[in-house]
Chain A
């Protein structure tokens, strides 16, 4: 009965391939995120969607394209994978943020370990 689930857990692929990571949350939250944990272990935000609308788009290469078919799902598609894309990708969700409050308590999935060979 996982609150935020992402698949696959592990993804090994060759350079140049296109791959997708799926994320679903059953918490009824309106906001979903993708974070990347790089080799230096920092968790960095990539995208944020609120009720299917893109609200945060960090300086991520346009090879990364998030898609939110509904507010419970936020998938990440990556084109032309590169070695530097190897990382752990975390999906997260949070309740709808009230205007003016920066108290985002995120609920994370267990991560997808992406290895590009």
Chain B
């Protein structure tokens, strides 16, 4: 019973173009969402987050969009760079459930020069 799902295991994008990574969730009590980035042989590192009271949060080349009615969020990277090649994890948490993070299974992004 996976409450957070990333249905695309991989994505390949040309350098300079937009990368769009998607994430779906089932628990309507989630009120905070995060994206983590992971390089091989390293642990995930925090990238960007969004509270459920917002529908968009932007940080440089990274923007996260939240559609609560669809229980869907997405991460946009523009322009994509080869150094963005990594696995991206979506995560969600709910205050009334102890705040523990529930992760998706990740999407491997490959940005080709």
Contact = CB atoms under 8 A, between A and B. Distances in A.
Interface residues of A, number: 26
B25 interface: no
A104 B101 contact: yes
Nearest to B4: A42
Contacts of A105: 34, 46, 49
A64 to B, nearest CB: 17
The size class of the interface chain B forms with chain A is 20 to 34
Contacts, number: 64
A106 B46 contact: yes
Interface string B1-43: 0100000010000000000000000000001101010000111
A21 interface: no
A109 B98 CA distance: 22
Contact of A42 (B31, B34, B103): B103
A102 B95 contact: yes
B50 to A, nearest CB: 10
Interface of A: 4, 35, 40-45, 48, 55-56, 90, 92, 97, 100-111
